[in-house]
Amino acid sequence: MREELFRQNPLCVRCQELGLVALATQRDHIVSLEEGGEENPANTQGLCDEHHEEKSLAERLRGRTRGR
């Protein structure tokens, strides 16, 4: 699935939104599985390492507040 995702769009979607060009290196779930997202192609996107880490951090922080 990762290979197919990068074949369809090899660029980081977040960088593209910002007018930048960077290769996607991480297969990311748009809505994380922990937050109810599904394991299917419509819920995946390619991100660079930096944007994947940024998004993952935000998801971890939301997870901590959900548990309270």
- CA–CA separation, 32 and 52 (whole Å): 12
14-24 average pLDDT score: 98
24-37 average pLDDT score: 96
Boundaries of domain holding 29: 2-66
* H helices present in 11-48, as ranges: 13-17
pLDDT of residue 64: 83
Taking 90 as the threshold, does the pLDDT of residue 15 lie above it? yes
pLDDT of residue 65: 80
Number of domain units in the chain: 1
| pLDDT tier, 47 (very low <50, low <70, confident <90, very high otherwise) | very high
Task: For 40, list phi and psi in degrees, rounded to 5.
Answer: -150, 160
